[in-house]
A and B are shown apart, each in its own frame.
Chain A
Amino acid sequence: DQQVKQNSPSLSVQEGRISILNCDYTNSMFDYFLWYKKYPAEGPTFLISISSIKDKNEDGRFTVFLNKSAKHLSLHIVPSQPGDSAVYFCAASNDYKLSFGAGTTVTVRA
């Protein structure tokens, strides 16, 4: 049962523009959400997180928004840079177990 869903397998964006990645979840017990970035042949690296008591968290070019009523979160990257081309995984936690989405492959075009 996929509790965390990333419905867009890929996203292509022009350099300098905004990238918006979406993630939906079904388990209302999730209380901590994270985004990871993964390059080929490397493990995922932590990008940004948000607690369920917040609706926004910003770190430089990355902002995560959480809409608990809609069970939806999104990651905004602005401005997008070529080095942002990677697979992005959304993850949600209840107690300790991190459940991951299938990932969205972002390609930033020059």
Chain B
Amino acid sequence: GAGVSQSPSNKVTEKGKDVELRCDPISGHTALYWYRQSLGQGLEFLIYFQGNSAPDKSGLPSDRFSAERTGGSVSTLTIQRTQQEDSAVYLCASSFSTYTEAFFGQGTRLTVV
């Protein structure tokens, strides 16, 4: 596709349920990032994938959060046993290399009720 695609665009889930968020990066981009933006906050780094290297998971807030990237392309962010504080917009971005700009998807708005 022409840009970074995220699905779903909106997700409402009950507290305690698991959710999966999907990101399709721009073709050929080797770097993939997940960020989240809580209400009134900046963009919080979650995880970074670069090619076949081990991902940088240092931003994941708890062990309920995990992410994978299959075949160096599509990525899935999984949140287990969701909590209300997980409510945020989850943004995925990809870039061609380290020192080029990252292109963002439109985000997934997650609401935990």
Chains A and B come from one and the same complex: yes
Which residues 47-99 in A have Cβ within 8 Å of B in the complex?
49, 51, 89, 91, 93, 95-99
Q: Count of A-B contacts with CB under 8 A?
A: 57
Known: A42-B106, A43-B4, A96-B50. A89 touches B42 (CB 8 A): yes
B31 and A43 contact, CB distance less than 8 A: no
What residues make up the interface of B, taking CB atoms closer than 8 Å to A? Answer: 4, 6, 31, 33, 35, 40-45, 48, 50, 56, 91, 93, 98-99, 101-107
The residue of chain B having its C-beta at the shortest distance from the C-beta of A91 within the complex is: B43
What residues make up the interface of A, taking CB atoms closer than 8 Å to B? Answer: 2, 4, 6, 32, 34, 36, 41-46, 49, 51, 89, 91, 93, 95-103
The residue of chain B having its C-beta at the shortest distance from the C-beta of A32 within the complex is: B99
B48 and A100 contact, CB distance less than 8 A: no
Report the Cα distance A93→B98, complex, angstroms: 9
Which residues of A are found within 8 Å of B41, using beta-carbon distances? 102
A selection of 9 A-B contacts at a CB cut-off of 8 Å is A42-B106, A43-B6, A43-B93, A44-B91, A46-B101, A93-B98, A97-B48, A98-B43, A100-B35
Excluding A42-B107, A95-B98, A100-B43, 19 further A-B contacts by CB distance (< 8 Å) are A32-B99, A41-B106, A42-B106, A43-B93, A43-B107, A45-B103, A51-B99, A89-B42, A89-B43, A93-B99, A96-B31, A96-B48, A97-B48, A97-B56, A98-B43, A100-B42, A102-B41, A102-B42, A103-B42
